Amino acid sequence: MDITPYLKTGDNDIFILVWYFGKDGFSHNSSGKAALIFDCKVSVFELLTDIFWKSSIRRELGRVGLLLPNFRLPESSLRYDAGLGNFDFTKAEAKTKGWRGSRSLGKPPVAPSNKLVKRTIPQWKNFGMKKYENERPFPFKSTGDTIV
């Protein structure tokens, strides 16, 4: 994804929201560790994950509970409750509050990442940023139905 239009001259903060399933499945053996590898090498600089990156467990993310998907799938039931969290961490005055330093789990090809293989098929299709419109104003409290 080209983030150039969102960068400014000088220091920039990059926030990456990830979900660690942590569940074995028919086609997946969990490493038991949540990890992130970010590798950006271009002609003018390189940005790689290291122990100086900060991390935070987001309380608005979690599992639904006992509603487990088919055992053959590595995914777990994902819950996101916007009422439990916010994105204040992106504001300059609060961006490091409650965050802790990261640990190095080893440089691949060691566990837990082991040998990394470049995907020949993209994991997702990047359609770029889209304008979002919804006739229901946010925020609203869900009644438990599906949000489309």
pLDDT at 13 over 70: yes
Instruction: Please say whether the beta carbons of 26 and 71 come within 8 A.
Output: yes
Note the pLDDT of residue 52: 86
User: Tens digits of per-residue pLDDT, 50-73?
Assistant: 888 888 888 887 777 665 666 666
Lowest mean pLDDT among 5-9, 65-69, 82-86, 106-110: 65-69
**Mean pLDDT value across residues 84-96:** 69
Length in residues, the chain: 148
Q: Sorting pLDDT into bands at 50, 70 and 90, what band is 3?
A: confident
Name the nearest CA neighbour of 56 among 105, 99, 14.
99
pLDDT at 148 over 60: no
User: Whole-angstrom Cα distance, residue 88 to residue 95?
Assistant: 7
> What percent of the chain has pLDDT above 70?
72
Note the pLDDT of residue 72: 66
Instruction: Please say whether the beta carbons of 53 and 102 come within 8 A.
Output: yes
Read off the pTM.
0.57
User: Tens digits of per-residue pLDDT, 103-135?
Assistant: 888 888 887 778 888 878 777 777 887 887 777
Name the nearest CA neighbour of 47 among 36, 58, 56.
36
Note the pLDDT of residue 75: 64
CA angle in degrees (0–180, nearest 5) for 61-62-68? 140
Name the nearest CA neighbour of 135 among 148, 119, 122, 118.
148
Alpha-carbon distances, residue 85 vs 60, 89, 102, 117 (angstroms): 5, 10, 21, 35
Note the pLDDT of residue 29: 73
